[in-house]
Amino acid sequence: MLKFRTAALLLKPAAAAAQPRVRLSSCPPQEHTTFYEFRTYSIRPEQNAAFLKLTNEKIHLRTAHSELIGYWSVEYGGLNQVFHIWKYDSFSQRAAVRAALAQDPSWISEYISKAIPMLTSQDNEVTYLVPWSRLQKPPRDGGVYELASFQMRPGGPAVWGNAFQAAITSHDAPGYGKLLGAFHSEFGALNQVHALWWFESADQRAEIRHKAHTDARVVAAVRNSVVHLDSQRNRLMFPCPFSPMK
């Protein structure tokens, strides 16, 4: 009997080694370290104009430290709010930027000490571009921007990535809006994806919205994606005069 037990024990590791590996990752590995920090500030209603004026005058103190992608005032989908995107090459770079700002006397005295009392809240989110998206510039200056945010069901891009891509790219076609970037969250609400769009005007965006409802190609793609969706929200935004994306 002992001989049979010994043989079984010797065979057991070989049998285990023959089992296929199970992939636990819910998404493709991140291929680069560049990330984008989304920031949303809520402003005291009576201070909204003053905050925008101060930021317009002093934003150079902040952009001296890291790259600003865009800065917008929210018109629909949030009152008395601004939304801005900052680009970083790594988390260590961001840490160095924050440390430098904390030691910058001009930033502290001329801007942040005056701006903070004008705000009621601040929020941020770290995002990466999804693998199939690249950050684009708008076709021209002017126009309006829409940030569409989707809270997807848990499971990650391995579950809903293809359906989400099909739904977004179905709208990124001639006669529709211009997709400037698609992002997924790393810190903040997880399983969240965002699409940043450009339109010539709010009226053009409304026309495109109605057009999409009767486009069989778009409807089919959206129906396949919506089964993975928990909730969504959007914001229509106007670029501030100092925004690189105008």
Q: What is the pLDDT along the chain (246 residues), one digit of tens a residue?
A: 444 444 444 444 444 444 444 333 445 555 679 999 999 999 999 999 999 999 999 999 999 999 999 999 999 999 999 999 999 999 999 999 999 999 999 999 999 999 999 999 999 999 999 999 999 999 999 899 999 999 999 888 888 889 899 999 998 888 889 999 999 999 998 999 999 999 999 999 999 999 888 888 888 888 888 888 899 999 999 999 999 999
Task: Give residue 157's pLDDT.
Answer: 82
Task: Give residue 234's pLDDT.
Answer: 96
| Domain boundary assignment for the chain | 35-239
Token pair for 159: 């579950």
Task: Give residue 172's pLDDT.
Answer: 86
The CATH class for the domain spanning 35-239 reads: alpha beta
